[in-house]
Structure formats: structure tokens, C-alpha cells
Amino acid sequence: AGRVRIDGVVAVTGSRVNPQMTVTVDDTELNMAEDRVVYALNKPAGYISSLSDEQGQGISCFIPDGMRLFPVGRLDKESEGLMLLTNDGELMNNLLNAAGGHEKEYYVTVDRKVTDIFLKALESGVKINNRATGEKVITAPCRTRRISDNTFSIILIQGLNRQIRRMCGALGYGVVRLRRMRIKNICLGDLNEG
């Protein structure tokens, strides 16, 4: 209808906009920086990270109607903790890129006593199957810290599917509880579930 203009030119389907361009709707300028949003969500266990879920178990139930947000990364259904939701695709891609070295910290409770040998094995890398290729891979080095007899912290920069559960399983440990506490410098803190 000619209502949207990019640098004074009427926009057409497929027009691309970069941050240096001026976008107007009905002669009102949009501030693109203000339109970007990032939310932290404390995902409870029992919900999947997907927004579209026919069984009603996706995280979309925590997002107000009409908000177009996408999850940054995933937590499996049994896991809980910090997830980021944004409408900024560039930020999402940057955070998901393992080459960026972005830390993610988890608290993990296991079904056996946490030993120094177990923690050192995790830190050195664990041989697991890459589910995408079927080949064996060794996980990237990570950092760990004992929290209690059965709980430890692990800091990863890698993000393979169900990586922590698979690493623990390869070393004979079962994961009882897995909670993401931090992504980069964004911490879960005391954020309520949901």
C-alpha cells in the first residue's frame, strides 16, 4: 500500500534493511534498536524448548500472545533453567555459534558421588556419538566445580544435543537434575519458573 519506506523509497516484498537505513511507516520513523528485545525465561522441567507444540508442552505458553520471539539454544524436556528469547536473529546466531566461545554454565545432580576422577574426565573431553553424523567425537574441554556430594557445575562452550547427559552416561553416571544457570554474563539468579 506504499505505507512503508526505506530511505524514502517505497518498500517492496523482499526489501532488505540494515541498521544504517531509515525505515518509516506512514511517515513515522521506526527506531530499529528499540524494537529488539531479549527476555530471560526460567524454563521448568517438563516443557520442550520449541514454541510450536501440539501437545501444549512447549514454552510458548509462557509468552504473551502476539509476541514474535524465538528461543536462543535449547534445553531438553527434562532440563530446566535459563533460556533466552529474542526477536533479534543476528544476536541469536551469534550466541549459538560455538566459534564465539560463549560460556553456558549448568548445575548437574547425578545418581552417584562426584569424584575428582569424574570431574577431570569431563574437563578433558569425553568420547560420545555425534547424533548428526553417527561418528564418535570427543567433547571440547570444559571447566567443572564440585558443589556437593552429588552435584557439580560444568561450563561449556560447545552445545551438542543432550551433551551433558551423554557425557555423564559415558562415564557411568546418570543425570538426576540438569539446570542451566548462566549464558555468557546473563544469570538465572532468582527468576521465578515460567
Burial call 27-54: b when 16+ CB within 10 Å, e when fewer: eeeeeeeeeeeeeebbbeeebbbebeee
Q: How many angstroms separate the CA atoms of 71 and 44, rounded?
A: 14
Q: Would you state the cell numbers that stand for residue 28, as one nine-digit string? A: 513515522
Adjacent-strand bridge partners of 29: 24
| Active-site annotation holder among 76, 116, 149, 190 | 76
Could you confirm whether 76 is annotated as catalytic?
Answer: yes
Q: How many angstroms separate the CA atoms of 103 and 154, rounded?
A: 10
Are 38 and 88 in contact by the 8 Å Cβ rule? The answer is yes
CB atoms within 10 A of CB 60: 17
Cα–Cα nearest to 68, from 95, 88, 82: 88
Which helix (H) or strand (E) covers residue 168, if one does? helix 163-170
Structure-derived torsion over alpha carbons of residues 117, 142, 183, 80, reported in degrees to the nearest 10: -40
Residues tagged active-site:
76
